[in-house]
Amino acid sequence: MAKEKTLEDLFLDTLKDIYYAERKILKALPKMARGAQSDKLKAAFEKHRDETEGQVERLQQVFEIFGKRAQGKTCPAIDGIIEEGEEILEEFKGTPALDAGLVSAAQAVEHYEITRYGTLRRWAEMLGKPEAAKLFEDTLKEEKATDGNLTDFAENAANKKALMAAE
């Protein structure tokens, strides 16, 4: 009979998922920065790439806390979200709507990360690993701040530029 799966098994499986996702995001952010038309959006993507490097390091620390080797597990969700962003880059290149589309794609990534980190933080608390929960909380704050900055940029610049071009 197969071993019954536990919350820790689910936690570790989800940890591998987000580790894979963050490493994929690290590869995607420079492409998004190069594609962005606004210098402010380029800078935001570059800043978030630096933050993401720190987030990967935190994930490696969590693996250590649980006595496991850091390894990823293919995450079809992030693969699909990143693919959508690449399609926007291709299909809207050179248009006034490009930056609005890139913000939209970036926010899809952020929202995915926010859900994962919130869940992992709670599970780490339940599993009696407050030091891991703290690492997740630090990352969660960064992801929420990035999402807020993207919203501000979309509302105050990118969306307006895309709309005005259509008029």
Distances (CA, A) of 94 to 28, 41, 82, 91, 128: 19, 15, 20, 9, 51
Q: Which domain holds residue 30?
A: 7-166
Q: Is residue 70 part of a domain?
A: yes
Segment 29-64, tens digit of pLDDT: 999 999 999 999 999 999 999 999 999 999 999 999
Task: State the CATH number of the domain containing residue 105.
Answer: 1.20.1260.10
Residue 27's pLDDT is: 96
Residue 133's pLDDT is: 98
Q: Is residue 2 part of a domain?
A: no
Q: Is residue 152 part of a domain?
A: yes
Q: Using alpha carbons, select from 25, 83, 58 the residue that is nearest to residue 33.
A: 25
Segment 72-83, tens digit of pLDDT: 999 999 999 999
Please count the structural domains in the chain.
1
* Confidence check: pLDDT of 167 > 70: no
* Confidence check: pLDDT of 111 > 80: yes
Residue 2's pLDDT is: 76
Q: Is the entire prediction scored with pTM above 0.85?
A: yes
Question: DSSP alpha helices (H): ranges in the chain?
Answer: 7-35, 39-65, 76-91, 98-126, 130-153, 159-166
Mean pLDDT along residues 127-133: 98
Residue 164's pLDDT is: 86
Cβ-contact 103, 83 below 8 angstroms? no
Contacts for 6 with CB less than 8 Å, ≥ 6 apart: none
Mean pLDDT along residues 108-124: 98
**Residue at 145: amino acid letter:** A
* Confidence check: pLDDT of 69 > 90: yes
